Amino acid sequence: MLIEPTTNPKVTYSADGYLAMDLLRFTTAGSVDDGKSTLIGRLLYDTKSIFEDQLEAVERASRQRGDVYVDLALLTDGLRAEREQGITIDVAYRYFATPKRKFIIADTPGHIQYTRNMVTGASTAELAIVLIDARKGVLTQSKRHGFLASLLHIPHILVAVNKMDLVDYDQATYERIVAEYTEFASKLSINDLTFIPISALNGDNVVNKSDRTPWYDGPTLLHHLENVNVGASRNLVDFRFPVQMVIRPHQDFRGFAGQIASGSITPGEEVIVLPSGKNSTVQAIVTASGDLPEAAAGDSVILTLSDEIDISRGDMIVRKHNLPQVGNQLECIICWMDEEPMNLKGSYILQHTTHQVRAFINEINYRIDVDTLHRETVKTLQLNEIGRVKITTTQSLFFDPYQLNRSTGSFILIDPTTNATVAAGMIRRRARGLDEVVPQQPQRQASSNVVWESSQLTRGARERQNGHDAAVLWFTGLSGSGKSTVARQLEKRLFDMGSHTFYLDGDNIRHGLNGDLGFSDQDRKENIRRVAEVARLAFEHGNLTLCTFISPFAADRASTRSLLPEGRFIEIYVKCDLEVVKRRDPKGLYAKALRGEIKEFTGISSPYEAPVNPEILVETDVQSVEEIVDLIIEELVRRGLIQL
Amino acid sequence: MSSYTRSHLKQLESEAIFVIREVAAQFTQPVLLFSGGKDSIVMSHLAQRAFFPGKMPFPLLHIDTGHNFPETLAFRDKLIDKLNLELIVRYVQDSIDQGRVVEEKGHDPSRNGLQTATLLDAMAEFKFEAALGGARRDEEKARAKERFFSHRDAFSQWDPKNQRPELWGLYNGRKQAQEHFRVFPLSNWTEMDIWQYIRMEEIDIPNLYFAHEREILIREGMIMATFRGIITPLPSEKTEQRQVRFRTIGDISCTGAVESAAATLDDVIQEVASARVTERGGRADDKRSEAAMEDRKKQGYF
Ligand SMILES: Nc1nc2c(ncn2[C@@H]2O[C@H](COP(=O)(O)OP(=O)(O)O)[C@@H](O)[C@H]2O)c(=O)[nH]1
């Protein structure tokens, strides 16, 4: 018999402990015969999630097939058609739990309809296990799995190098696979990549640490699953509440039922209802077990508002100072899931949050070859193909880019005739018209009789000598969002790389050059105008010029941008939830502003117009300073401004 | 920000409530299938919560095979009364009397397979567009691929190849006039989750789930409760008094009991945690063939 339990943990259920367990949804991917079913069987078996009658059934089935051993893979394979063909053709869900965590596995089959199934399984997963057969090494499929996982934005990827028993637990073989896959993964946006050498068949490093891999000192697979940070894909910043239905049992109660898509909310907060744009305040967060002091992403609740506003299914309630994007022209990545190819002439129904609208696919920009990652020009998308398209909807949607918000950045397309779900989509951003891409040049004031004196030394000459291009890195964001912290770290890194830098900081400038200015809209504008001119001088002298200014108004930032050549103004939006900065409040300013001691304070009593399409967006409430600096450096390299 | 983390049970609850509300919002005539078992009791509880302080905007439908435990029916009526719900009952006996179905041959026939016809007739009678059920994916292998929104064609058939992919939390309930949906909000729950939720929410369940003395006999290796006309002892079978409880409650004719001393919910949970057979291990209907469940699903069984 093939199955031998590597452990037999005596699970005693403390009922209260059970209530504290959290949840990890993960997906498994591997080519046929890499051992995916065996691994899942092993996890279920070793965590005592298999019962005797199930085991008996599998033993019976194995005997009927004439197998000499009990095939753990049979534990997990469902429908008769599949059993007969010996393949799995649809996503299957499996469950197991340890005293620490409950797990939901979206088990996606290896080949047929692979992309469609993997995308489906990945859409709700927080971790993906990619299996690699140690004998075969990194195959095209292994890369495809990694690519799809990163496309769907799964925060954690675990590469299980399986069948180590068949390569004599050889460290060098393992290391080679790790190196090759790491190299490949660097081209994708993967936050967390972990490798573990295992034998699913023998159980090495699955639940128990193997003594046959003394050279490996990382966690076992189960240990990793139990300890990986869950919730990394939840956006806890941007409050979005798509209204599912209105609850109105009697005249005196009018509540809006829904599941919070992202962010959190407390009673008393000011909100705006989209699309009407009406303001109100959250009165209560109602549930059958009483009102809640706070609710967050994932919670199904009912909100009541302090004003009578006409709201219906498909509307969205958001915070006043944190709005989603609005638009009916979207740039998206879609995965086609229907036998019938995409029809550019037809119309579809687009389901986004709790909203259904008519949609047209205007153009296909390209198809992505999931194996080579090459972009190809095509006329349509077929089943299991992925491409970038432009979509127009008959009504505007309220959305966030998928990168930032899986719930409000995703949608499905439905064929209005068959009602089949034909595609899964991820919104990249609002499609932009030409007028937005080429902004109007605002009039610059020039003092009379002044001509621009160009120095003998051109910027080009300075740039060649410096070994990098000049640029203005403009950090905008709320007070306390971390602009200066990030900029200082970045400047240090750039300096260490031998770059020429110049740093303009909001507070310092206001002590001197702009000491005469206050915080009225007019003075803020003048503040930025002066700074922009100084930044431009520094830029012309070949510097990477870092500017950290709240710069709340889009118009002022746009006019600064217009002073510089195309591609040299890098707007870096340092995003941080207002609630978080209020709590951080490093300089005590929010406290003062909230007490009314500071007038016209951005975010409290003066607006902040968030950049719509910044060159770089960083989030200090979810990313570390180190990560952010890395990300900015990478982007500068990608843009060819600096070289590593 | 620890206040933002949620236990898995709370997450499952939120997911189920979301799905139940989607049903109420996407369909004009939904119904909640009620069997009297713990899953459908939990379903009623969740539906109650989903629309609080409003009322559940759809009725309950019970397909009565005539083989119910009397305790189940008493519990059902008490629950309906307490929660002020609307209940529709349709009887398999009527379908038999009308000649729609024929009682199986043999000693103590099960009516489990017959209830499908009664159910479909009831769906047609009331023009129900979606039937909410308490089935879970962990119950049986064939259910592992079941969708939350499971599409049934005009003949109520379930075509495994024609199910819609479900991504993120987006459920597509669009359908042609004659078609309908079965919806399973508890898809991601396990048996343990159900018990723990019952404990957390202090939900009332029938006493059949706790250890009690009753007359039983052993048939095909299973402990069956004796009942005149349903489980009638054959001459070769001897009856005896034992202390038992039920892990699932279905028809008397096909629900096996387990020997148990579990008198409280905590005892039951402890037993479930150390159980070595699945809860369906005690159901005669599943044993018949490995693909039994799959076949019944294709015919429209819930
Ligand atoms: N030697 C060895 N064989 C394995 C291991 N894992 C899986 N296998 C075998 O590889 C074959 C394919 O495994 P299976 O789990 O069905 O692969 P799947 O197609 O990815 O689900 C089976 O014969 C397994 O017994 C392993 O770690 N070591």
Q: How far, rounded to the nearest angstrom, does the alpha carbon of residue A292 sit from its chain's CA centroid?
A: 28
* Confidence band, pLDDT 50/70/90 cuts, at residue A282: very high
pLDDT of residue A452: 47
B250 neighbors B37 (Cβ within 8 angstroms): yes
Residue in A306, A464, A431 with CA at minimum distance from that of residue A360: A431
Residue A112 vs residue A428, higher pLDDT: A428
The beta-carbon neighbor of A93 closest among B21, B144, B281 is B144
* Confidence band, pLDDT 50/70/90 cuts, at residue B276: low
Q: In angstroms, how far is the first alpha carbon of chain B from the final one?
A: 42
**pLDDT exceeding 90 applies to what percent of chain B?**
49
Mean pLDDT of A407-433: 91
pLDDT of residue A464: 86
Cβ–Cβ gap A52/B52 under 8 Å: no
Q: How far, rounded to the nearest angstrom, does the alpha carbon of residue A118 sit from its chain's CA centroid?
A: 17
From A38, A43, A75, the mutation candidate for ligand 1 (largest count of ligand atoms within 8 A of CB) is A38
- Residue A35 near ligand 1, beta carbon < 6 Å: yes
The tally of CA atoms less than 13 A away on the side-chain side of residue A461 is 5
| Chain pair A-B, CB pairs under 8 angstroms | 193
Residue in A394, A392, A403, A317 with CA at minimum distance from that of residue A353: A317
The beta-carbon neighbor of A102 closest among B8, B164, B294 is B8
Identify the sign of the CA torsion A562, A563, A565, A570. Answer: negative
Residue A591 vs residue A281, higher pLDDT: A281
Q: How many residues does chain A have?
A: 644
Query: Does the annotation mark A559 as catalytic?
Result: no
pLDDT of residue B126: 95
Whether A303 has a pLDDT exceeding 90, the answer reads: yes
Whether A49 has a pLDDT exceeding 60, the answer reads: yes
Q: Report pLDDT digits (tens) over A561-572.
A: 888 888 899 999
Q: Which residues of B touch A230 (CB under 8 A)?
A: 5
Mean pLDDT of A45-59: 72
- Residue A87 near ligand 1, beta carbon < 6 Å: no
pLDDT of residue A51: 66
Mean pLDDT of B239-259: 86
**Residue with tokens 């640029």, as numbered in its chain:** A471
The beta-carbon neighbor of A53 closest among B166, B270, B278 is B278
Q: What is the CB neighbour count within 10 angstroms for residue A592?
A: 14
Residues 6+ apart with CB under 8 A from A445: none
Whether B2 has a pLDDT exceeding 60, the answer reads: no
Cβ–Cβ gap A123/B167 under 8 Å: yes
Q: Report pLDDT digits (tens) over B116-168.
A: 889 999 999 999 999 999 999 988 777 888 899 999 887 777 776 668 899 99
pLDDT of residue A9: 42
* Confidence band, pLDDT 50/70/90 cuts, at residue B43: very high
* Confidence band, pLDDT 50/70/90 cuts, at residue A438: very low
pLDDT of residue B217: 85
Residue A427 vs residue A513, higher pLDDT: A427
Nearest-atom number in ligand 1 for the CA of A2 is 25
* Confidence band, pLDDT 50/70/90 cuts, at residue B224: confident
Q: What is the DSSP string of A371-389?
A: TT--EE--S---TT-EEEE
- What are the phi and psi torsion angles at A94 (to 5°)? -125, 155
Whether A77 has a pLDDT exceeding 60, the answer reads: no
* Confidence band, pLDDT 50/70/90 cuts, at residue A320: confident
Q: Residue A103's closest chain B neighbor by CA? A: B8
**Two tokens, residue A218:** 């990382």
**Two tokens, residue A380:** 């349509």
- Residue A92 near ligand 1, beta carbon < 6 Å: no
- Residue A409 near ligand 1, beta carbon < 6 Å: no
Alpha carbon of B25 to those of A135, A282, A358, B19: distances in Å?
52, 23, 19, 10
Residues 6+ apart with CB under 8 A from B138: A94, A95, B144, B189, B190, B191
Q: Report pLDDT digits (tens) over A336-388.
A: 999 899 998 889 999 999 999 999 999 999 999 888 888 999 999 999 999 99
Residue in B32, B8, B4, B3 with CA at minimum distance from that of residue B194: B8
ipTM computed for the complex: 0.89
Q: Report pLDDT digits (tens) over A162-179.
A: 999 999 999 999 999 999
Is the minimum CB–CB distance between A108 and chain B shorter than 8 Å?
no
Give the global pTM: 0.75
B150 neighbors B158 (Cβ within 8 angstroms): yes
Residues 6+ apart with CB under 8 A from A413: A334, A348, A349, A350, A351, A359, A421, A422, A423, A424, A425
Q: Report pLDDT digits (tens) over B163-220.
A: 889 999 999 999 988 889 999 999 999 999 999 999 999 999 999 999 999 888 888 8
**Two tokens, residue A482:** 């971390």
Residues 6+ apart with CB under 8 A from A12: B270, B273
Residue A186 vs residue B277, higher pLDDT: A186
Cβ–Cβ gap A13/B25 under 8 Å: no
- Residue A514 near ligand 1, beta carbon < 6 Å: no
B85 neighbors B51 (Cβ within 8 angstroms): no
Q: Chain A: nearest CA to B170, how far in angstroms?
A: 7
Whether A2 has a pLDDT exceeding 50, the answer reads: no
| Euclidean distance between CA atoms A206 and A223, whole angstroms | 8
Mean pLDDT of B34-50: 94
Identity of the amino acid at B83: L
Mean pLDDT of B78-92: 93
Q: Which residues of B touch A340 (CB under 8 A)?
A: none
Q: Residue B13's closest chain A neighbor by CA? A: A300
Is the minimum CB–CB distance between A253 and chain B shorter than 8 Å?
yes
pLDDT of residue A605: 84
Q: Report pLDDT digits (tens) over A228-261.
A: 988 777 788 899 999 999 999 998 899 999 999 9
Whether A492 has a pLDDT exceeding 70, the answer reads: yes
pLDDT of residue B1: 36
Residue B294 vs residue A569, higher pLDDT: A569
pLDDT of residue A441: 44
Whether A472 has a pLDDT exceeding 60, the answer reads: yes
Whether A73 has a pLDDT exceeding 80, the answer reads: no
Cβ–Cβ gap B51/A119 under 8 Å: no
- Residue A30 near ligand 1, beta carbon < 6 Å: yes
| Euclidean distance between CA atoms B27 and B129, whole angstroms | 6
pLDDT of residue A591: 87
- Residue A606 near ligand 1, beta carbon < 6 Å: no
Cβ–Cβ gap A257/B50 under 8 Å: yes
A578 neighbors A269 (Cβ within 8 angstroms): no
Whether A281 has a pLDDT exceeding 90, the answer reads: yes
pLDDT of residue A506: 84
B302 neighbors B133 (Cβ within 8 angstroms): yes
Whether A75 has a pLDDT exceeding 80, the answer reads: no
Cβ–Cβ gap A407/B11 under 8 Å: no
* Confidence band, pLDDT 50/70/90 cuts, at residue A54: low
pLDDT of residue A456: 65
pLDDT of residue B3: 55
Residue B243 vs residue A587, higher pLDDT: B243
Residue B106 vs residue A160, higher pLDDT: A160
Mean pLDDT for chain A overall: 86
pLDDT of residue A618: 92
From A33, A167, A204, the mutation candidate for ligand 1 (largest count of ligand atoms within 8 A of CB) is A33
From A117, A167, A201, A206, the mutation candidate for ligand 1 (largest count of ligand atoms within 8 A of CB) is A201
Q: What is the DSSP string of B65-120?
A: -S---HHHHHHHHHHHHHHT--EEEEEHHHHHHTTSS-PPPSSS---TTTHHHHHH
Residues 6+ apart with CB under 8 A from A14: A99
**Two tokens, residue A164:** 């180590």
Whether B229 has a pLDDT exceeding 50, the answer reads: yes
Q: Report pLDDT digits (tens) over A500-524.
A: 999 998 888 888 888 888 888 888 8
Whether A68 has a pLDDT exceeding 70, the answer reads: no
The three state secondary structure string of A16-27 is: HHHHHCEEEEEE
Residue in A146, A32, A142 with CA at minimum distance from that of residue A89: A32
Q: Which residues of B touch A419 (CB under 8 A)?
A: 172, 174-176
Alpha carbon of A432 to those of A327, A335, A348, A568, B258: distances in Å?
10, 22, 22, 20, 66
Alpha carbon of A169 to those of A97, A161, A175, A214, A347: distances in Å?
29, 11, 11, 9, 55
